[in-house]
Amino acid sequence: MTNDTIRYCRRMLVRMVLGVLVLAIAGAPVSASAQSRTVDLKQLSEADVLTIDGAIDDLWNEAAVSPIDRTVDDVPAPDDASDLQGQWRAAWDDTNLYVLIEVTDDVVNDNNESGDAYGVNDDSPEVYLDVDNAGNTSSESGPANCFYDDNDVQLIFEDGITYLGYCNDSDATGGNDVPGITVAEVSTANGYRVEASIPWTAVGNVTPVAGDVIGIDVHINDDDDGSGRDHKLTWNDDGTEEAFVQPDAFGSAALTGTPLPVELASFQAHMDGDAVALRWSTTSETNNARFDVQRRVGAAPWTTIGSVDGAGTTTRSQTYRLNDRALPFEATTLSYRLRQVDVDGTANLSKAVTVDRGMAQRLTVTAPAPNPTDSYTQVGIAMPEGHSEARITVHDVLGREVQQQTLRRSVRANARISVDGLASGVYFVRVVAGDQSQTQKLVVVR
């Protein structure tokens, strides 16, 4: 066992013993002595893209900057501002939490030294998250003196590796990147910078929404000579350094919503014959250039099917409509959303609405395509309600049946028809489902 490991284990043992003694005396976990801090986190829109490369993108200039300037017991304070200081900022969307940490450090030592199981003995930032902001659990869970639950996590970013902290990985077997987390670290003129995207799914089983509050803290560690941690600063935790075992030591962050330039009052979609009728209304608009109407079938990508001009800036209610007549034949369920675009190109997305096409009232057969053909063609067949089988036959101009097959589907499907073995000429494709039938003309060329 290395000297670094022995020192780290001793620190852990001291903290655990102190924690047990305090719990025995006070009957409750210890909390940080300084006033708990809070910050608002900017929500990114669908059009906002943060590239995780360690650079300060323009989007970061709109995020609140918070200092990392509190000290903890048992770890000396930095000698001066050049020795160690830092600041952090964060943003969020429905998928990820984004964090940017800037560190001033006159001696950057990021050598992933042997025995540093958690990455805290080198120069490294830490991010603590309590996604449901539940604080300490009612009793210890997991490793000794730990009050984390499934929505609490300690992440240490060191030398391109994302470590899990003590309460998440008590056996110190960390050292592999946490799945889904993307991290970039770059050197700067006076230290280094770390940028990360952290999927909500990687740090808990809760997906926050605008208006929620999460627990959060950010720490930075400093190793000047390669022999272990010399200094440490935090955003919120102080005193006996409790964050690594107690979420109550975290600060908090409010997830703010993005003010929308358009106040959408309603968005509806319904079947209107063979088309989908889309209707929406707004109560006010600011610099609204247009609405792009997007459609998705199943898990396929969203595609824009049409656009409607917006009203610019107005406080009067507006009503819009668009009919989708070019429906994908096989689709039984269709999803729609609005992509609202500002005059400056900024875009925001509405919630999706879904339309169920249901069963066809009568048998429907689309024209063969390709037509003419020299190899194959296909026809779309919408089964009438109450039927799940159709007989498909091909006839020549004399009415003789030259080919047949059976399609067994309950709703809509495309039937492929091979013309191999058929001479050039005109043919007729006949589809029968129950007492209903339709015929389409087909031309074969050789």
> pLDDT: is 427 or 109 the higher one?
427
Task: Pick 154 or 141 by higher pLDDT.
Answer: 154
> Under a CB-based contact definition with an 8 Å cutoff, are residues 61 and 48 in contact?
no
Residue-level pLDDT at 313:
94
Q: For residues 54 and 363, which has the higher predicted lDDT (pLDDT)?
A: 54
Average pLDDT over residues 25-34: 41
Alpha carbon separation from 182 to 117, 127, 130, 236, 442 (Å, rounded):
20, 14, 19, 24, 55
Structure tokens at 398: 């004399």
The more confidently predicted of residues 251 and 16 is 251
Picking from 335, 170, 338, 157, the residue whose alpha carbon sits closest to that of residue 245 is 170
Question: pLDDT grade, residue 113 (50/70/90)?
Answer: low
Q: How many residues does the chain have?
A: 446
pLDDT of amino acid 29: 36
Residue-wise pLDDT tens digits, 156-187: 998 778 888 888 875 655 555 677 899 999 99
Distances (CA, A) of 83 to 4, 76, 101, 210: 21, 12, 16, 38
More confident residue, 25 or 171: 171
* Pair of tokens at residue 145: 């003196």
- The pLDDT tens digits of the residues spanning 233-243 come to 999 998 788 99
10 has pLDDT over 90? no
Going from the N-terminus, what domains does the chain have, and what CATH number goes with each?
3-255 (2.60.40.1190), 262-356 (2.60.40.10), 364-444 (2.60.40.1930)
Nearest to 334 by CA among 368, 366, 293, 367: 293
Q: Average pLDDT, stretch 63-89?
A: 93
Alpha-carbon Rg for the chain, nearest whole angstrom, is 32
Residue 381: per-residue pLDDT: 87
Give the number of other Cβ atoms within 10 Å of residue 257's Cβ: 10
Summarize the confidence of residues 365-391 as an average pLDDT.
89
pLDDT of 304 reads: 96
Mean pLDDT on 326-336: 87
> In the structure encoding, which two tokens stand for residue 353, read together?
């609405």
**C-alpha separations of 181 from 186, 199, 316, 322, 437 in Å:** 17, 6, 45, 40, 57
Better-predicted residue by pLDDT, 88 or 141: 88
Residue 27 reports pLDDT greater than 60: no
* pLDDT at position 53: 95
> What are the structure tokens assigned to 309, written together?
């001009």
Q: According to the 3-state scheme, what is the secondary structure of 298-340? A: CCCCCEEEEEEEEEEEECCCEEEEEEECCCCCCCCEEEEEEEE
Tokens of 287: 């610099």
Identity of the highest mean pLDDT range in 32-41, 136-145, 429-438: 429-438
What's the CA gap between 118 and 287, in Å, rounded?
50
Q: What is the pLDDT of residues 254-295, one digit of tens each?
A: 998 766 688 899 999 999 888 999 999 999 999 999 999 999
3-state secondary structure of 218: strand
Residue 15 has pLDDT above 60, yes or no: no
pLDDT at 310 over 90: yes
- Label residue 115 by pLDDT band (50, 70, 90): low
Tell me the per-residue pLDDT of 354-369, one tens digit each, with 9 for 90 and over.
998 877 778 889 899 9
Of 298 and 321, the structure prediction assigns the larger pLDDT to 321
- Checking if the pLDDT of 1 tops 60, the result is no
404-427 pLDDT, tens digit each = 999 887 677 888 999 998 999 999
Asked if residue 30 has pLDDT above 80, the reply is no
Task: Produce one character per residue of 58-94: b if its CB has 16 or more CB atoms within 10 Å, e if not.
Answer: ebbeebeebebebebeebeebeeeebbbbbbbbbbbe
